[in-house]
Structure 1
Amino acid sequence: MSLILSADPPEISAISARNRVFWRGPLRAALLYCGLSAGLTVALFTAAALVTPTGRSPVRSEPGPLPGSPWIDIVRPFQIYALSSEFGREPTTFEAQRHREGGGRLDTLTWGNLNSDSTPYLRIALHRVGRESAEDSSFFVQMVRQAALFGAAVTRGGVSDALATRFGTFETADLALDTGQTSTSCLGFRFASDTPALRISGFACGTPARPVDRQTLACTLDRLDLVLSGDDQELGRFFAAAETRRDPRCAPGRNHQASWMDGAAPAPLRGVARKTRSAR
């Protein structure tokens, strides 16, 4: 038995070769087209993600919330400090806060309007320090921070010097407070006591026609009184001891200058003095 091998005729082999060549070209072209299309699609999506459309603002990550203030507002606080001076009898605003962790109390009293050229401005902050740490910074830095609390900026500051009062020596300096509406010449001041732990600071600003001088500020601070100390006997003893060191030049009397705020001389602090003594 013989094995017969069949072979394609030459014409058929030539046709098959031509078909393979024909289909191989389009297949390569199709694969190349698909690859280019996929690459172009990826490039377009990448560009769309990177380029911001016209008329729309780029999305920016917002900063995280600032840490909460350590101070909590006291609802309907009792005014434990009083002051009757050339800036007026009753404060224009009064607020008190309690330290969230340390338990200290911060009383802030203001007179007048800093944006007004016709009236003076006085701001006094009294911090009865509790278990929290008291602010320890330079005079100028403290003034800048305190001014920022009520929307003002310290644009000029002089060299601080000592100011004697019945409570002790205050540090004070000439400053300029700018609110964006007005720029006012003021005296910045601060005082620190270790026993009791008490910090007093603020600003006293006059008018263009009548700036505040250091004697006026000293007498203003001299008339700061404690209305009621409550259970804080150490604070009561501090004000009682300062009572004997009042400056005679600051005592209310016939020659006392009229108030800037209402044009009338303030009355002597008889009621406040009685309350202060009973509180002690």
Structure 2
Amino acid sequence: MPARRVDPVARLIDLADALEAGFAAVVRTGGRLLRAGGAGLTGGLLWRGVAAATGIGLTATLVAGLSSGTPEEALPSLSSVVPAEPVAAPAIRDVRIQAVPAAFGEEGWIHVARPIAMFGLDAPEIGKRAGYEARRSQDGGRREDMLSFGEFGDGQPFLALKFQANREAAEQGAAVGLSQPFVITLVRESAARGLSVGRSDTTTLIETKFGTVETADIGLSDGSAGRACIGFRHLDGAAHLSFSGWLCGGETRPVDRTQLACLLDRVELLSAGDDPGLRAVFAKAEPQRRPGCSVPRTAAGGRKGADAEAKAPALKTGAGRQGAAR
């Protein structure tokens, strides 16, 4: 036989009726005692005792009524409350182990271990090429080639060049890089090579076979020595080829913008690979080369044609040749 459900509300009503009847009886009894005067109690003390007894009785009755039956029967309203779902806190990224994806140009490159040189420059007045590095974008749409001539810390002329070929230039239009100031570009690229820019002057424009190039006199330092250089940039988002870098003179051989323009005009395309757009850039630029920017050639005896102070090789006489034949 199922247990009968106890209604706590009805029981509380019955309890209230019983308390009311009991309280009325207590009051009547107390009144008779006061009138008789035989109890020996004052009226105030008697009323305090009645109030205390009533409070204790009410508390005990409530506790007994609420504790009867099962918790679900005694407190139906509490058992019907559905606990609220905990609100999930937003995920917090730990920057030590989860980096934010960098913008294209920072981490979106793949280093080419053994690059095939795409660009060449014959610059005997500066020195031999000291390094050639290359990297390409992950999607294959861009490639950067970094060339350097000489060493920054030896006090001799030094040239650093970075070329960027962009296959997607036609679709992008005037896009990436144009919003970045020229000086900021120099600061970032010098930092990538372990150098810092100490000062920079007003930008000056020069003309080359590739078009207009921005230049500025800057001070570069490797932490131990500083040098006066010319920073430059040809950055056209709509062009297939962009380049930047700096040219530093020697301790006794300063450089100027005329020499820089000639060096840039002598840049050659060694291999375009499968990039016909890059080949078209150089085909268009070559007719714009300055006529006076030929490479200083070396004579058969080892003397440069532009070096008037070099010693001429000794002429071999017939006797000398006969002696050598013997």
Query: Structure 1-normalised TM-score?
Result: 0.64
- Equivalent residue number for residue 176 of structure 2: 134
- Contact 1:112-1:122 at 8 Å conserved across structures: yes
Report deviation, 1:256.
6.0
Q: What amino acid does structure 1 have at the position aligned with 2:163?
A: L
Correspondent of 2:116 among 75, 78, 86:
78
Structure label with greater radius of gyration:
2
1:51-200 equivalences in 2 (<5 Å) = 63=96, 69-85=107-123, 86-88=125-127, 90-101=128-139, 103-117=141-155, 119-131=156-168, 134-136=176-178, 137-194=180-237, 196-200=239-243
| Long gaps (5+) in structure 1 | 1-60, 264-280
CA deviations 1:66-102 (Å, max 9, x no partner) are: 65721111121100100002223x4201010011246
**1:134 Cα deviation after fit:** 2.8
Task: Note the C-alpha offset of 1:207.
Answer: 1.4
- Structure 1 runs of 4+ aligned residues shifted over 6 Å read none
**Closer, same or farther: CA 213–192 of 1 in aligned 2, 3 Å:** same
CA distance in 2: counterparts of 1:161 and 1:76, whole angstroms: 36
Separation in 1 of the partners of 2:187 and 2:306? 31
Tell me the percent identity.
35
Deviations 1:198-224 (A, max 9, x none): 211001011121111111101110100
Q: Specify whether residues 125 and 257 from structure 1 end up closer, same or farther in structure 2 by C-alpha distance, changes over 3 A only.
A: farther
The match for 1:223 is 266
Contact 1:167/1:242, CA 8 A, preserved across alignment: yes
Higher RCO by CA contacts (8 Å cutoff, separation 6 or greater): 1
Contact (CA 8 Å) 1:196, 1:235: kept in 2 or not?
Answer: no
Q: CA deviation at 1:169?
A: 0.8
CA deviation string 1:119-151 (max 9, x = no partner): 111100001124496323011111101110011
Give aligned pairs, total. 198
Counterpart of 1:127, as a letter, is Q
**Pairwise CA distance, 1:227:** 0.8
Equivalent residue in structure 1 for 2:276, among 233, 238, 251 = 233
Q: Write the distance in 1 (CA, Å) between the matches of 2:153 and 2:195.
A: 10
RMSD: 2.5
The separation in 2 between residues aligned to 1:163 and 1:64, in whole angstroms, is 47
Query: Contact between 2:229 and 2:249, CA under 8 Å: does it hold in 1?
Result: yes
Which residue identity does 1:134 align to in structure 2? V
Please report the TM-score for the alignment, with normalisation by the length of structure 2. Answer: 0.56
